[in-house]
Amino acid sequence: MLNLPGTIINLLNPFAPVFYGETTWEKAKTLLVGAILAPGQRTVSAVLRVMGLGEEARFADYHHVLSRAVWSSREASYRLLKLLLAYLDQGKAPLVFGIDETIERRWGAKIAARGIYRDPVRSSKSHLVKASGLRWVSLMWLAAIPWAERVWALPFLTVLAPSERYYEASPRPPKKLTDWARQMVTQLRRWLPDREVVVVGDGSYAVLELLHACQTLAHPVTMITRLRLDAALYEPAPPPTGKKGRPRKKGHRLPTLQQVLDSPQTAWQTVSLTWYDGQTRVMEFTSNTAAWYHSGKPPVPLRWVLLRDPLGDHEPMALLCTTLSYSPLQIAAWFVQRWQVETTFEEARAHLGLETQRQWSDKAIARTTPALLGLFSWVTLLAHVLQADHSLPVRQAAWYAKSRPTFSDAIAFVRSYLWPRAHIFRLSCPEPDMVKMPHSLVVRLVDTLCYAA
pTM for this prediction: 0.92
State how far the Cα of 151 lies from the Cα of 149, in Å rounded to an integer. 7
The Cα 276–Cα 279 span in angstroms is 7
Ramachandran region, residue 54 (left: φ > 0; alpha: ψ -120 to 50; beta: rest): alpha
pLDDT at 244: 79
Q: Which residues pair with 305 in a beta bridge?
A: 287, 319
Distances from the Cα of 124 to the Cα of 141, 206, 277, 280, 423, angstroms: 28, 21, 20, 26, 50
User: How far apart, in whole angstroms, are the C-alpha atoms of residue 430 and residue 434?
Assistant: 7
pLDDT score, position 93: 81
Specify the pLDDT at position 280: 86
The pLDDT of residue 125 is: 77
* CA 436 centroid distance within chain: 42
Would you state the pLDDT for residue 92?
Answer: 76
Closest C-alpha to 334, from 102, 141, 121: 141
Cα distances (Å, whole numbers) of residue 49 to 31, 53, 69, 284:
11, 5, 22, 56
**What pLDDT is recorded for position 422?**
53
Give the list of residues 6+ apart from residue 336 with CB closer than 8 angstroms, or none: 273, 274, 275, 276
Q: Which of helix, strand or coil describes residue 194?
A: coil
* Nearest by Cα to 186 from 214, 161, 208, 158: 214
Could you tell me if 332 and 305 are in contact, meaning their C-beta atoms sit under 8 angstroms apart?
Answer: yes
> Which strand (E) or helix (H) includes residue 300?
strand 300-308
Could you report the per-residue pLDDT of 228-258, keeping only the tens digit for each? 999 999 999 888 777 777 888 888 999 999 9
Question: One-letter amino acid identity for 40?
Answer: G
pLDDT of 427: 45
- pLDDT at residue 83, as a whole number: 97
Query: Can you give the pLDDT at residue 425?
Result: 46
Predicted local confidence at residue 274, as pLDDT: 85
Q: Please provide residue 321's backbone torsions phi and psi, each rounded to the nearest 5 degrees.
A: -140, 130
Instruction: Collapse the DSSP code of 344 into the 3-class scheme (helix H, G, I; strand E, B; otherwise coil) and give the result.
Output: helix
Which residues of the chain carry a pLDDT beneath 70? 1, 389-390, 421-434, 446-447, 449-453
pLDDT tens digits for range 205-222: 999 999 999 999 999 999
Report the 3 state secondary structure along 217-255.
Answer: CCCCCEEEEECCCCCCEECCCCCCCCCCCCCCCCCCECC
Residue 423 has what pLDDT?
A: 46
